[in-house]
């Protein structure tokens, strides 16, 4: 699995770290540690990419509007 770049922030309300994909800011994942959030972010990205492939679509090259 290829690693993506994520911006990490702390969520006071969830008491977890949030990994937000730099290329697709609406793609986020949570984790109890920074490392866990990044791992979960990569899993989320792979599922996101797989859903595009399954529909025969090319993966967007930049942020999505919706």
Q: How does pLDDT run across 4-59, given as a tens digit for each residue?
A: 899 999 999 999 999 999 888 899 999 999 999 999 999 999 999 999 999 999 88
Is residue 39 a part of any domain in this protein? yes
Is residue 62 a part of any domain in this protein? no
- Please give the pLDDT value at position 9: 97
Residue 10's domain comprises 6-54
Q: In degrees rounded to 5, what are phi and psi of residue 3?
A: -80, 145
- CB neighbour list of residue 63: distance below 8 Å, 6 or more residues apart: 23, 24, 25
- Counting the structural domains of the chain, the total is 1
Neighbours of 9 (CB within 10 A): 11
Is residue 60 a part of any domain in this protein? no
Is residue 64 a part of any domain in this protein? no
The residues with which 16 forms a beta bridge, in sequence order, are 11
Is residue 35 a part of any domain in this protein? yes
Judged against a pLDDT cut of 70, whether residue 63 lies above it is answered with no
- Please give the pLDDT value at position 55: 95
């Amino acid at each position: 699995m290829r690693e993506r770049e994520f911006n990490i922030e702390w969520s006071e309300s969830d008491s977890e770290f949030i990994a937000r994909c730099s290329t697709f800011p609406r793609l986020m994942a949570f984790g109890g540690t920074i490392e866990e959030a990044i791992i979960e972010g990569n899993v989320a990205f792979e599922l996101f990419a797989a859903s595009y492939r399954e529909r025969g679509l090319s993966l967007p090259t930049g942020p999505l509007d919706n």
